[in-house]
Every structure is written in structure tokens, then in C-alpha cells.
């Protein structure tokens, strides 16, 4: 006999605040605490204003997996994401960092990073189909 699954889950989104030149450097990033039982569906980044110095990059990682690897954020656009979905049975921590390795000092730049996820077993509604 086939089991009908009638419970539905809403996806949630977590967003960084707008990140800019003040966020360049290892100690100026943002961290997201991931609840136990989270299924990470997607990671995304959007550079709204390109950083105006050479070698400014974005990295998003949970220390075991790199989702966005040293992505150039000197030009507006979306980031390239890998290694999703990922399940966190006991929770976790995702770090967002903006680094600069090139010459000069960035004076402008703006981006944001987001995460789409569901909490497994945290149903929101039931619809029988």
C-alpha cells in the first residue's frame, strides 16, 4: 500500500544585510547558525554594485563544504553555487566572507547572500492529493 504524504513545508530564506567595504577581511564576515534538521536547498549571492578594487572575492562555506569559492565580486551579477542541497542533522554554521587580495583599496561595493532551506519534520499544512 502506498503511503500518502499530506504534510507540506514552506521554504524559508535567510539573508545577510547588505555587505560592503566594511565587510572586507576575515573578521568582518557574517555567520548563519543552521538549526538541527535543516535541509539547505540553495545558496545564492547577488553583487549589486561591483567592488572597485582588484581581487575582491566572496566565499561562502560551512568549513567542510564550499558553496561559493572565491567568486569575483568586482562586477555586478549572481554568484556560482556548488554542493547544494545539503542536510544538517545536527545543525551547523555557514560563514560568508569578503576578501581582497589585489592592489588598491575598495571604496565602493555592495552584495548580499541568501540561503533557502526547510526544517525537516516541521510541517506547515496538510493537503491531500
| Domain boundaries of the chain, sorted by first residue | 12-120
1.25.40, 2.60.40, 1.10.3470, 2.60.120: CATH of 12-120: 2.60.120
Exposed/middle/buried for residue 10 (C-beta within 10 Å: 0-12, 13-18, 19+): exposed
**pTM passes above 0.85:** yes
* Structure confidence at residue 4 (pLDDT): 72
Confirm if 122 and 35 have CB atoms less than 8 A apart.
Answer: no
Q: What is the DSSP string of the chain?
A: -PPP--EE---EEEEPPPB-GGGBSGGG-EEEEEPTTEEEEEEEEEEEE--SSTTEEEEEE-SS-EEEEEEE-SSSEEPP--S--EEETT-EEEEEEEEE-SSS-----EEEEEEEEEETT---EE---
* Structure confidence at residue 123 (pLDDT): 62
Per-residue pLDDT of the chain (129 residues; tens, 9 = 90+): 787 766 677 889 999 999 999 999 989 999 999 999 999 999 999 999 999 999 999 999 999 999 999 999 999 999 999 999 999 999 999 999 999 998 889 999 999 999 999 998 766 554 444
* Structure confidence at residue 26 (pLDDT): 83
Radius of gyration of the chain (CA): 17
* Structure confidence at residue 6 (pLDDT): 66
Amino acid at each position: 500500500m502506498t503511503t500518502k504524504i499530506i504534510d507540506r513545508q514552506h521554504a524559508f530564506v535567510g539573508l545577510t544585510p547588505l555587505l560592503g567595504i566594511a565587510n572586507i577581511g576575515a573578521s568582518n564576515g557574517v555567520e548563519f547558525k543552521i538549526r538541527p534538521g535543516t535541509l539547505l536547498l540553495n545558496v545564492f549571492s547577488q553583487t549589486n554594485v561591483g567592488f572597485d578594487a582588484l581581487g575582491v572575492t566572496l566565499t561562502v562555506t560551512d568549513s567542510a563544504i564550499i558553496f561559493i569559492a572565491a567568486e569575483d565580486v568586482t562586477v555586478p551579477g549572481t554568484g556560482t553555487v556548488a554542493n547544494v542541497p545539503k542536510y544538517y542533522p545536527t545543525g551547523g554554521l555557514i560563514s560568508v566572507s569578503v576578501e581582497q587580495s589585489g592592489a588598491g583599496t575598495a571604496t565602493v561595493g555592495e552584495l548580499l547572500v541568501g540561503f533557502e532551506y526547510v526544517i525537516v519534520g516541521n510541517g506547515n499544512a496538510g493537503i491531500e492529493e
